[in-house]
Amino acid sequence: MTTSVHGPAEEAAGPSGPIEPPRSRRALVAGSVGNFIEWYEFGVYGYFATVIAATFFTPEGGSDAEALVRTYASFALAFFFRPVGAALFGRLGDRAGRRPTLILVVLLMTAATTLIGLLPSYATIGAAAPWLLTLLRIVQGLSAGGEFGGAVSLMTEFAPPGRRGLYGAWQSFTVALGLLGGAAVAAGLATVLSEAQLGSWGWRVPFLLTLPMGLGALWLRLRLEESPSFRRPPGAPVAVGARTAEPGRTAPGAAGGRRRGHGPAEPAEPHTVRASARETVRAIALGVGRLMGWSAAGYTFLVVLPSYLQSVLDASFRQALTATVLANAGFAAAILPAGALSDRVGRRPVMVSGAVVAALAAFPLLDLLRDPAAPTAAKGLAVCAAGAVVGLMAGPGPAMLAEMFPTRVRYTGLGLAYALSNAVFAGCAGLVITAAVERTGEADIPAYYVAVTCAVSALALATLRGGDHRRALRD
């Protein structure tokens, strides 16, 4: 029998599991909406990289290539502040709760993104323009760093037994929806506006649209209940789906002292604390290795691709956006099935398959895109398939991370692993690829980048235990 957990406004657990389906679905929606906004904005920034470069990073006498590199440097800088945000908000979320931290995070993200749409250009205020843009990107990076850990903790802790992979996959699915939403808005503006209008004021519209979206996300999170794993009182039985741990004992694999209902772990021996800290650091490092292929391939295929097609293959803005929409459509279509499949066969076979296929397909994909004789339909199918391969890693990824950390450090641990991986292997993707192609003239740089990172990631993913998807989350 599964024992319920108690807290304010808590509903009694039914025979099917410790968490009622309506509450699980509310947590799913509230956790997902912030991810949508975050990735919508990051997608828009990537899609309009060339326009933003001309608006903020092109002083008199500067080249377009130099401006684009500076734009991607600002893009990367925001990613390097993600680990700071993950540590800061993760600590807050593991001590004060998932709900209040996620409310604060969505407020910061909405404010920073809306202000980008209002910033004056370099031509208006001079050198202050790129500095103000960079400052807002830092705020976005901090808030984005706090979003993932809280959202994934919330979704997986509310997930019904046997559906943790599917619930966690919604985080990645809303990433795809956010990127698709940004691409759709960008493509729509490129269709109805002239290039002059787009460069003058049209690029601001997608950023300003974040304000109503953010207010909707805030409303949803204000109605959210706290995670049952976080608020479990001391000594209460640990609900693990089909079985229950006895009071005074922790769930399998837990580390450290017994956790309080609303705070940090109870005092433990110094050597226990040090061992627990070492275990958490090792788990974060391993998590980075497992995610690096997803991060690198995802940003190369889904975000950097438009500027690469324009600058290297001389594609038009509309052609580049069309390719990106197809890649993101394939990405979105694969995520939820991959998460659900990982609940049946395990995280390891699904994620390793995605990493291996991405590594092997990187060079053929670029060869096909460069071939002027290749049919347009074949190119579209190829970029769609590339997105789907990334989805094989992104679907089970959130649940895989949640299963690596106990409740008392889950928000911080999985948030840091994800943020560090994205900072190094995703946030730098545009900067590294653009600068390397410009310096070397080697058009295969994106393929080398994806192949190497995915090969390393496949090795790290191979260390996953086959039965982790069937075990309870660690307490």
Q: Is residue 6 part of a domain?
A: no
Please give the angle made by the CA atoms of 18, 475 and 230, to the nearest 5 degrees: 65
* 127-182 tens-digit pLDDT: 888 888 889 989 988 998 899 999 999 999 988 888 999 999 999 999 888 878 88
Q: Is residue 202 part of a domain?
A: yes
- Mean pLDDT (the chain) is 81
Q: Is residue 474 part of a domain?
A: no
Structural domain containing residue 382: 21-229+272-468
Q: How many CB atoms lie within 10 A of CB 199?
A: 17
* 349-375 tens-digit pLDDT: 999 999 999 999 999 998 888 888 888
Domain CATH number, residue 56: 1.20.1250.20
Q: Is residue 14 part of a domain?
A: no
* 240-267 tens-digit pLDDT: 333 334 333 333 333 444 444 444 445 5
- Tell me, what's the pLDDT at 273? 58
User: What global pTM score does this model have?
Assistant: 0.79
Q: Is residue 212 part of a domain?
A: yes
| SS3 of the chain: helix, strand, coil, percent, to 5 | 75, 0, 25
Number of domains in the chain: 1
| Category of 241 on φ-ψ map: left (φ > 0), alpha (ψ -120 to 50) or beta | left
d(CA 30, CA 466) in angstroms, rounded, equals 30
- Tell me, what's the pLDDT at 219? 92
Q: Is residue 112 part of a domain?
A: yes
**What is the torsion angle, in degrees rounded to the nearest 10, for the CA atoms of residue 141, residue 143, residue 144 and residue 150?**
150
Token pair listed for 285: 């490092």
pLDDT band at residue 275 using 50, 70 and 90 as cut-offs: low
Q: Is residue 417 part of a domain?
A: yes
d(CA 130, CA 124) in angstroms, rounded, equals 11
Q: Is residue 237 part of a domain?
A: no
